Structures are given as structure tokens and as C-alpha cells.
Amino acid sequence: MADDKSNAAAYWKANVRLIAGCLVVWAFVSYGCAILFRPLLAGIPVGGTDLGFWFAQQGSILTFIVLIFFYAWKMNKLDEKFGLGE
Amino acid sequence: MSQFAINLLFVGASFALYIGIAVWARAGSTKDFYVAGGGVHPITNGMATAADWMSAASFISMAGLLASGGYANSSFLMGWTGGYVILAMLLAPYLRKFGKFTVPDFIGDRFYSNTARLVAVICLVVASVTYVIGQMTGAGVAFSRFLEVSNTWGIWIAAFIVFLYAVFGGMKGITYTQVAQYVVLIIAYTIPAVFIAMQLTGNPIPMFGMFSTHTESGLPLLTKLNAVLNELGFRDYTADVDNKLNMVLFTLSLMVGTAGLPHVIIRFFTVPKVADARWSAGWALVFIALLYLTAPAVASMARLNLMTTVYPQAAGQVESYEDAMDNALIYEERPEWIRTWEETGLITFTDRNNDGRVQLYNDGNEDFADTAEARGWEGSELSVNNDILVLANPEIANLPPWVIGLIAAGGIAAALSTAAGLLLAISSAISHDLIKTMINPKISEKGEMLAARISMGGAILLATYLGLNPPGFAAQTVALAFGIAGASLFPALMMGIFSKRMNSKGAIAGMLAGLLCTLLYIFTYLGWLFIPGTNMLPNTAENWIFGVSPLSFGAVGAMINFAVAFAVSSATEEPPQAIQDLVESVRSPKGAGMAVDH
């Protein structure tokens, strides 16, 4: 029982760490590249405008998709590793 | 065949399909009715979620918003997609593991309190009802424009169709019609966009065309667009915004609002496993992105198309735009689509300087007034409603009549699919949380099904009534729906999963604090209950606290919710052991299959 408990706790800790990592990327592309750091990226041209504009209109959405699939894939591995899958 | 007959054929065929699905997917049990039996494939659910999520606003209005606002309105794109990242990681898998039917179910059980359940039910009903008004009016507009029936008839027809598949099929009927509706709406959205991208850039994929070269001028499309807009006193399409704080908060509000909207969350209760809920969120975003990556391309291309329709010579390789500005479109020679839309009143023209030509420029820009005067312009003469961009696209690109029929069916599909999802969220909260859990726990399965169907019927009637008599504030209600979902439901759900220590007092205090602060801020600027003239401060940027607009306040409301909840919770007792065990079990996917039959 105690083992079960510490196993579950370790699983949860790994999950929270993974989420934190993913959300850093999530915030970096949308709030960072697309909004706050856009002036810093102004020197990088993309199709007639700058990289920040691309992130605001396409780049963040594409990154979001990759993030969710990456998270789902990683979590499947964690489920297996900790024996908590269905 | 006339255009009317073609529209009728397309819309009629799509309705026949939805009704066919309704007959096939009747709900036999409450589990069928609330969560489609819990056996929906993650990709199927992703597609249904995309249709559930993409409303008349996404289909019809978003491209117009982007076209008029340019970069500044990118918040809609990031906000309405980024919410799925937090939904996939912070809510969906755990709520699926919990294995009940509704959002208030979780809040009520996790915070062991019927008060919390009731607050959740009220938030859910208010958010969903305000949201559904826009869907009904959107469907009414699409009907009256394409099928030449009155707005009133349009709304009644829409209500009848939804009634057929939602009341009989419940979530099961809704799921499979939403899949069909997604296919209809994405085809309808993409085809005209591909043709326009081809015409302007030679690249058939709109999202790439947007960042490639404009064939006629040889310049990058966005550079060309900026140049033309500059010449007319408009801001650059790609211009940065000054108020970054507001843009960040607005984007964040849309994200937490998206993640907290109950009609989206309950879609993830329909998949068989916890892992499926995670994959399904990814698939939902893929299907949503097919439209959301095309929308900004449609927006920039349509804006350029509009400008070069008015100033035909501005399209080519020009050294100076002065000639183009003098040779604006002669009103009598305007293209057919302008004539069609003038009839609806959504495009209007007044020849202010009586030169027989159309002038379209930014007459609100004081720095530009001298240039305009020198050109003999006396005010912008053409006004174009934002909402027609997508609907008029096939006509602007000279596409065959069947594409227009497809757009009609697509617009109606977008409105109906979202309306059905919202109605299910409302009716399940009433029949399951209010009647079954709180008022009459002894109700039989059959009785609960009947209650669910009656509340669905009631919700449809209410939505129809509100669609026919839209309150004057229909446009502002979106802020309300997102504000409530983001400031009250999202934090409560998240803390219920991520904080074992959170007790009922903290959660209730947090939800109420988030909700009330958000309502207070919105009503201060938009009027109490949106009644015009009752606002305490004018709704302009100078009056906003720290420049935060009422639309952006949902994120601040969510932070208030978190802060109050933690303060109150840490000052009061720990939640009972049984609840802490419940949180433990929600966090682990193991045994999710069993939890669903309760």
C-alpha cells in the first residue's frame, strides 16, 4: 500500500514536471514570441513581415498542436513506466 | 438552376443527413444521452469537438475581425486554440477519469458541497445560454441570406432541426451529427480560400500563400497590403500594438475561457480511456487548426482584394499610388457581388464628393486629412460589414454557384453544431445535477431520461425565444460567457485536481469572488446587465484600470479566484480523507473503464 502511494506520488510529480515544461513553451511562443518579444524579433523577416507576426497568426497554433501530441505521447510512456495505465 | 435552388439543395441535403443520423443514433440510456455511451473514438471525438467549438462566430465573423484589426486581433487565433493546450494537460484527462456526466458533478463531489454544485450549475447555465443566443441569430442570418426566408422562419427551422437530433439522440445523436457538420463546414471554408490564394499568389495552400509573393505586384503579399493601406491612411496590417498588457490578458482570458467552457469539456467524457482524452484534445486542435490557419490568410487576402477592387490600378507594380488613387472604381461599373450585398444593407455607398467614383479610406485619421483633401475626397464612401467577408468570398473570387450553396450549408452547420453542444450542457446540468442529484435522487433511469429530454426541449425553446428577441447586448455576451467560464469554472476545476488541500469553503469563496469581480468590471463599462446608459464609466481605453479592457478581465478574475480560494482554504480545515482519496484516484488513469458506470 505504501509502495502504491509513493508510486502514485512519483507519477504525479513526473506529470506535473512535464506539464510545467510544456506550459513554458506554450507561454513562450504565444505571450513571448507573438506579443511581448515581437519587437526583439522584428529583424527576422518572414514573407513580407516579421517572425513575431508569423508566431501570432500561425506559429503558436502549430506549436500548440505539437505540444498536445508530445504530452499525450510522453504521458502514455509515464503510464506504462509507473504501471498506472488502463 | 437558380442560385436559390442550388442553396436549397445543399442545405436540404445537409439537413437530410443530420436527420438520418438522428434516426440511427437514438439514445437508449442516460449514459447514451449524456456521454454517447462513452465509446467514441478519439479522432471522431476530436472532429466532433472541433464542430462543437467552431461556432457561427468562428466561421462567419473571425476572418472579418482579423481583416479589420490585422495583427492586433491575433488574440482570437491564439486564445481560441491555446485553450486546448491547458484543457489537454490540466483538465480533460482527470475529469474523464472522474467518470461522471457533467461539470457540476465534479465540482459538487470534489468540494463535497451542494452549494458548490449549485454555483457551478448557475455559472454553466448563464455562460451557455448567453453563448447560444449568438448561434441562433447566426443561423437566422444564414437562412435569411441564402434561403430567402424571413429571419423568424430561419430561427424556427434551425430550432426544429436541432430538436430532432438533440432531444432523441442526446450526446450520441449530437456527436455523429457534429462529425458530419465538421466535414461540411471545413470543405465550405477551404474551397473558396484555396481559389483566392491561387488567384492572388499562385499558391493553392492559403496558409503559405499568405506569406508568399503577390503575383500581380511581385511584392510579398503582406508588404503589398501594408503599402496600399498606408496610402489610404490606415494602420499597417502587421502593425504592433502599444498596449501589450491588454493583449496578453485578452489572449489569456480567451484561453482560460475556452478551457472552462462546459460544452467543450463534456465532449471529453465520451471517449473510452484517459489516454484517449489526451489524444482527442490533440486531434480536436488539428481539426480546429485547419480552419484557424486558413482564417488569417482569408482575412489578409480579402482585405487586399477589397482595396484593389476599389482602386484597381493599385494592384500592379506601381512607383507611386497617386494615379491609382485618382482612378478609383466608378460606382456604376461596380462588380456584381457589391450589388448583391448592397441589397442586404451590409455594404453601403454614399457618393460624398459626387465624382461618381468609390473612395474607401480611413477618414478618422487626422494626420491623413490633408492628403485626402488634396485628392478631393470628402469622407470614406463605402462601408463594408465585417461579417460578409467569408460569405461573399465565393462571389469575390468568381466561383461557381455550387460553392455559394456550400457556404450556406457550412455557415448553418457551424451554428447548429455549437448550439446543440451548448443545449446538451444546459439540459444535462438541469436534469442530472439539479433534478437527479439535488432534488430527487430516487428518480429512475427512465424518469431521468424523460427529465433530460424535457429540459433539452425547454432549453431549445428558451434559445429560440432569445434568438427571435435578441437582447440588445447580444454582441457583448461573448465577453460574459468567457468571463464566467474563465474566472469561475476553470480555476475551480483546476484546483480540484491539482490541490489536494483545497476545501469546499475555499473553492466556493474563490468561484464567487472571481465571478463577482469579473461581472462588476464588465458591468462598470458595458452597463448593469448590459442596459445601455447604466455604465458607470465610458468604455474607452483611457478609463480602463491599467488599460485592461472589460473583455480582457476574465484572466484577472481567474487570478482573484485562485488567490481567494487559497487564502480561505489555508485558514480553514483540511478536506475529509475520502475527498483526498478521490483526488488521488482522479490523478491516476488506472481503472478509468470501471468508473464510468456509476
Tell me, what's the pLDDT at B143? 79
* Residues 6+ away with beta carbon under 8 Å from B504: B111, B112, B113, B115, B116, B575
- For residue B542, the cross-strand partners are none
The one-letter code for the residue type at B144 is S
B-chain residues near A67 (CB < 8 A): 85
Alpha-helical (H) ranges within B360-438 are 369-374, 388-396, 401-428
The one-letter code for the residue type at B464 is T
**pLDDT tens, B1-50?**
788 899 989 999 999 999 898 888 888 888 988 998 888 999 999 999 99
Tell me, what's the pLDDT at B523? 85
B371 lies in a domain? no
- Angle (CA) B349 B350 B351, round 5°: 120
pLDDT class of B476 with cuts at 50, 70, 90: low
Closest by Cα among B207, B208, B179 to B18: B179
B268 and B280 Cβ atoms separated by less than 8 Å: yes
B89 has a chain A CB within 8 A of its CB: yes
Chain B: nearest CA to A29, how far in angstroms?
10
Tell me, what's the pLDDT at B164? 84
B327 lies in a domain? no
CA B349 – CA B383 distance, rounded (Å)? 7
Nearest chain B residue (CA) to A57 = B74
Phi, psi of B345 (to 5 degrees): 80, 0
CA B76 – CA B73 distance, rounded (Å)? 6
B331 lies in a domain? no
CA B104 – CA B265 distance, rounded (Å)? 11
Residue carrying C-alpha cell 456527436: B175
A-chain residues near B224 (CB < 8 A): 48
Task: Give me chain B's average pLDDT, please.
Answer: 90
- Please tell me whether residue B156 adopts helix, strand or coil conformation: helix
And the C-alpha cell for B404? 455559394
Question: Which residues on chain A place their C-beta less than 8 Å from a C-beta of chain B?
Answer: 8, 11-12, 15-16, 19, 22-23, 26, 30-31, 34-36, 38-39, 46-50, 52-54, 56-58, 60-62, 64-65, 67-69, 71-72, 75-76, 79, 84-86
* Residues 6+ away with beta carbon under 8 Å from A37: A52
Chain A: nearest CA to B155, how far in angstroms?
34
Closest by Cα among B125, B131, B179, B166 to B34: B166
Asked if A75's CB is within 8 angstroms of B289's CB, the reply is no
- Please tell me whether residue B349 adopts helix, strand or coil conformation: strand
Pairing verdict, β B347-349 and B382-384: antiparallel
B315 lies in a domain? no
And the C-alpha cell for B182? 465538421
B212, B219, B282 ranked by CB distance to A65: nearest: B282
* Residues 6+ away with beta carbon under 8 Å from B295: B58, B62, B63, B66, B77
Query: What is the tally of structural domains in chain B?
Result: 1
Looking at residues B278-293, what average pLDDT do you find?
A: 97
Interface mutation target, options B45, B58, B78, chain A, most CBs of A under 10 Å: B78
Interface mutation target, options B208, B221, B278, chain A, most CBs of A under 10 Å: B278
Alpha-helical (H) ranges within A1-86 are 2-27, 51-54, 60-81
A-chain residues near B223 (CB < 8 A): 48-49
What domain range includes position B235? 3-301+398-595
B136 and B467 Cβ atoms separated by less than 8 Å: yes
Look at chain B and count its residues: 598
Phi, psi of B213 (to 5 degrees): -85, 135
B507 and B566 Cβ atoms separated by less than 8 Å: no
Q: What is the CATH number of the domain that holds B520?
A: 1.20.1730.10
- Please tell me whether residue B83 adopts helix, strand or coil conformation: helix
CA B513 – CA B415 distance, rounded (Å)? 33
Residue carrying C-alpha cell 501570432: A56
pLDDT class of B596 with cuts at 50, 70, 90: very low
Burial of B497 (0-12, 13-18, 19+ CB in 10 A): buried
Alpha-helical (H) ranges within B469-552 are 477-484, 490-498, 504-526
Tell me, what's the pLDDT at B203? 95
Tell me, what's the pLDDT at A2? 62
B264 and B270 Cβ atoms separated by less than 8 Å: no
Instruction: Report CA Rg, chain B.
Output: 25
B288 and B53 Cβ atoms separated by less than 8 Å: yes
- Residues 149..188 of B with a Cβ closer than 8 Å to A: which? none
Asked if B93's CB is within 8 angstroms of A68's CB, the reply is no
B513 and B560 Cβ atoms separated by less than 8 Å: yes
B285 has a chain A CB within 8 A of its CB: yes
Chain B: nearest CA to A79, how far in angstroms?
8
DSSP per-residue letters across B315-343: GS--S-SHHHHHTPPBGGG--HHHHHHHH
Phi, psi of B574 (to 5 degrees): -65, 150
- Tell whether the model's pLDDT for residue B344 goes beyond 80: no
B212, B498, B589 ranked by CB distance to A84: nearest: B589
Interface mutation target, options A33, A61, A80, chain B, most CBs of B under 10 Å: A61
B496 lies in a domain? yes
- Please tell me whether residue B591 adopts helix, strand or coil conformation: coil
Name the more confident of B459 and B396.
Answer: B459
Tell me, what's the pLDDT at B475? 56
Show the low-confidence residues of chain A (pLDDT under 70).
1-2
B273 and A86 Cβ atoms separated by less than 8 Å: yes
Asked if B207's CB is within 8 angstroms of A84's CB, the reply is no
Interface mutation target, options B49, B237, B279, B588, chain A, most CBs of A under 10 Å: B588
B355 lies in a domain? no
- Angle (CA) B526 B470 B256, round 5°: 55
- Tell whether the model's pLDDT for residue B390 goes beyond 50: yes
Tell me, what's the pLDDT at B193? 94
CA B199 – CA B4 distance, rounded (Å)? 27
**pLDDT tens, B431-458?**
999 999 888 889 998 999 999 999 999 9
**pLDDT tens, B228-261?**
999 999 999 999 998 999 999 999 999 999 999 9
CA B178 – CA B168 distance, rounded (Å)? 15
What letter would DSSP give residue B441?
A: T
Tell me, what's the pLDDT at B597? 46
**pLDDT tens, B192-220?**
999 999 999 999 999 999 999 999 999 99
Asked if A64's CB is within 8 angstroms of B285's CB, the reply is yes
CA A46 – CA B211 distance, rounded (Å)? 7
B146 lies in a domain? yes
A82 and A11 Cβ atoms separated by less than 8 Å: yes
B98 and B571 Cβ atoms separated by less than 8 Å: no
**pLDDT tens, B118-133?**
999 999 998 898 888 8
- Tell whether the model's pLDDT for residue B598 goes beyond 50: no
Phi, psi of B548 (to 5 degrees): -90, 120
- Tell whether the model's pLDDT for residue B464 goes beyond 50: yes
Asked if A47's CB is within 8 angstroms of B220's CB, the reply is yes
Look at chain A and count its residues: 86
Tell me, what's the pLDDT at B393? 83
User: Cα dihedral sign for B348, B353, B358, B362?
Assistant: negative
Name the more confident of B152 and B580.
Answer: B580
Nearest chain A residue (CA) to B498 = A16
Closest by Cα among B208, B209, B207 to B293: B207
Domain map of chain A by residue range?
A: 19-81
How much is the pTM? 0.93
- Angle (CA) B475 B481 B484, round 5°: 140
B558 and B514 Cβ atoms separated by less than 8 Å: yes
pLDDT class of B595 with cuts at 50, 70, 90: very low
Looking at residues B356-372, what average pLDDT do you find?
A: 93
Tell me, what's the pLDDT at B473? 55
What letter would DSSP give residue B511?
A: H
Closest by Cα among B528, B497, B455, B454 to B128: B455
